[in-house]
């Protein structure tokens, strides 16, 4: 925990230290302040704005309750701003993000230490290895929802693999726990609900046929238990739907009207802004041409990028190891957008990526029968279908790394555990992970530190 506190406290402290003056002073409007000087490829600055002045800025169908979850922090921020006459959004989020990151670190460590059975030093090494991934590291201090998703999904793995009273280790998840996690996780990001459901179904399928809640003589067929549990998910889904409709007709309608009024006034007095709006409209029309369909649920699909470079340069590349060129540039801007595919400048970056992928594939083969691995693998498989199959959010797919990459250290941890009867192999694996960890932290921090301080 102390090591985690040092890591996340340092990263969030660095973010606060590198913050421009306009983020702190009230004389700048929140929208203007945080759109100025904030460029972290693919990440949104909406959380900072919402904490400064509460507004439902997240797309409601993608993040149904995220703005509501930020409301208490927004009240605190506004109260402190009234008292001390400076903006507190960056300070509050730094503290909260440090605590959430620390909780996630602790859960991952306990999965490695207690569920898999690794030693303390190996568990800590794999935690450091995981947080060395570029966009896992970034998620721990940049204002967006990825950190919350990561924490909730790792919590689901921890709950699903916990020994239950009166059952063997690895028995299924209690319904109220999975439904609660489903509701909260879906409120953060809609696709999280599918991941929680998949993980719950896998937990039931790998429960060795043991029934929960029907008594020793009351076994039901697996398909009936899975169907019954799936039907229970209708309860939080309907509740979420009701909250969605309520927000859509109240706060979101007011926000849309406000944005339209402000935009119209600014277009009338600011020719440069009017030009930018027209350029954004042209860019949006171009994006529509690459979509799979007209549905807004397919609004972020892009058929203009090939799947293979999307996989090895963006998802498994930039997500783990930052590219030196076009660092932190955004594909979603009108002027000088980041290219959809960026190549590494050095061969060793590809070599490091290949080593991580090969270790992961080997770990999947070693742990193929492990229940924990299959539960942890569900978010990655779903994201592969979503981002590589449908090419959803392909322009900045790497920012979702924290949604699935935790399966890599868990899988490798299982492989190291299984190598206990081959001491030389276990030492070799540990040395390889240590070398990769050192490279990831050195490479990614060497690029990030100057960028944060200078921008």
Question: CB–CB of 417/111 below 8 Å?
Answer: no
Contacts of 265 (CB under 8 A, 6+ apart): none
Q: How far apart are CA 158 and CA 175, in angstroms?
A: 15
pLDDT at 55: 87
Query: H or E element: which one contains 374?
Result: helix 371-383
Count of all residues that appear for the chain in the document: 455
∠402-409-150 over CA atoms, to 5°?
Answer: 25
pLDDT at 46: 92
Six-digit token string for 130:
């995981």
Six-digit token string for 387:
């981002």
pLDDT at 31: 85
Question: CB–CB of 58/119 below 8 Å?
Answer: no
pLDDT at 273: 57
3-state secondary structure of 392: strand
Please compute Rg for the chain using Cα positions.
Answer: 23
Rounded to whole angstroms, what are the CA distances from 374 to 147, 202, 298?
Answer: 22, 7, 28
Contacts of 400 (CB under 8 A, 6+ apart): 135, 146, 319, 383, 387, 393
Six-digit token string for 124:
């800590």
Question: CB–CB of 206/184 below 8 Å?
Answer: no
CA atoms within 13 A on the CB side of 432: 21
For the chain of 455 residues, list the mean pLDDT of each consecutive stretch of 10. 89 91 86 84 90 89 92 94 92 96 97 95 96 96 94 96 61 84 96 96 74 42 87 95 91 79 69 61 55 58 79 91 91 76 92 96 93 95 90 85 96 94 92 97 95 83
What are the tens digits of pLDDT across the range 398-427?
999 999 999 999 999 999 999 988 999 999
Reduced 3-state DSSP string for 135-187: HHHHHCCCCCCHHHHHHHHHHHHHHHCCCCCCCCCCCCCCHHHHHHHHHHHHH
3-state secondary structure of 301: strand
Rounded to whole angstroms, what are the CA distances from 187 to 22, 75, 152, 179, 255?
Answer: 31, 20, 11, 12, 19
What are the tens digits of pLDDT across the range 43-97?
989 999 999 988 888 888 889 999 999 999 999 999 999 999 899 999 999 999 9
Q: Output the pTM of the full model.
A: 0.90
Question: CB–CB of 395/331 below 8 Å?
Answer: yes
């Amino acid at each position: 925990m102390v090591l985690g506190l040092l890591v996340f406290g340092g990263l969030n402290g660095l973010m606060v230290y590198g913050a421009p003056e306009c983020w702190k002073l009230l004389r700048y409007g929140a929208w203007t302040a945080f759109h100025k000087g904030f460029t972290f490829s693919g990440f949104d600055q909406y959380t900072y704005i919402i904490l400064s002045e509460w507004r439902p800025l997240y797309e409601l169908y993608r993040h149904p309750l995220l703005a509501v979850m930020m409301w208490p922090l927004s009240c605190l921020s506004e109260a402190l701003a009234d008292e001390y006459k400076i903006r507190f959004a960056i300070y509050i989020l730094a503290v909260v993000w440090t605590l959430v990151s620390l909780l996630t670190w602790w859960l991952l460590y306990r999965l490695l230490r207690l569920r898999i059975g690794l030693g303390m030093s190996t568990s800590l090494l794999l935690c450091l290895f995981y947080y060395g991934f570029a966009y896992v590291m970034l998620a721990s201090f940049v204002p967006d929802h990825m950190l919350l998703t990561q924490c909730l999904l790792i919590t689901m793995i921890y709950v699903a693999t916990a020994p239950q009273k009166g059952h063997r280790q690895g028995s299924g998840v209690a319904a109220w726990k999975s439904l609660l996690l489903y509701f909260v996780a879906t409120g953060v990001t809609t696709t999280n609900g599918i991941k929680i459901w998949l993980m719950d179904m896998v937990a039931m399928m790998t429960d060795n046929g043991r029934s929960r809640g029907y008594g020793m003589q009351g076994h039901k067929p697996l398909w009936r238990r899975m169907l019954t549990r799936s039907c229970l998910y209708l309860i939080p889904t309907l509740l979420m739907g009701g909250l969605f409709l309520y927000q859509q007709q109240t706060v979101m309608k007011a926000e849309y009207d406000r944005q339209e009024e402000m935009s119209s006034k600014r277009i009338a007095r600011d020719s440069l802004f009017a030009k930018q709006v027209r350029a954004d409209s042209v860019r949006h029309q171009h994006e529509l041409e690459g979509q799979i369909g007209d549905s807004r649920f397919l609004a972020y699909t892009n058929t203009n990028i090939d799947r293979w470079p999307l996989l090895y340069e963006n998802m498994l590349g930039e997500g783990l190891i930052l590219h030196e060129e076009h660092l932190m540039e955004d594909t979603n801007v009108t002027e000088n957008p980041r290219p959809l595919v960026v190549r590494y400048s050095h061969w060793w970056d590809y070599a490091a990526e290949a080593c991580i992928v090969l270790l992961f594939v080997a770990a999947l083969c070693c742990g193929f029968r492990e229940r924990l691995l299959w539960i942890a693998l569900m978010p990655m498989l779903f994201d592969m279908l979503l981002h590589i199959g449908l090419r959803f959010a392909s322009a900045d797919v790497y920012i979702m790394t924290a949604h699935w990459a935790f399966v890599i250290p868990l899988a490798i941890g299982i492989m190291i555990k299984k190598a206990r009867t081959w001491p030389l192999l276990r030492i070799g694996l540990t040395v390889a992970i240590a070398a990769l960890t050192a490279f990831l932290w050195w490479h990614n921090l060497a690029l990030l530190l100057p960028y944060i301080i200078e921008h």
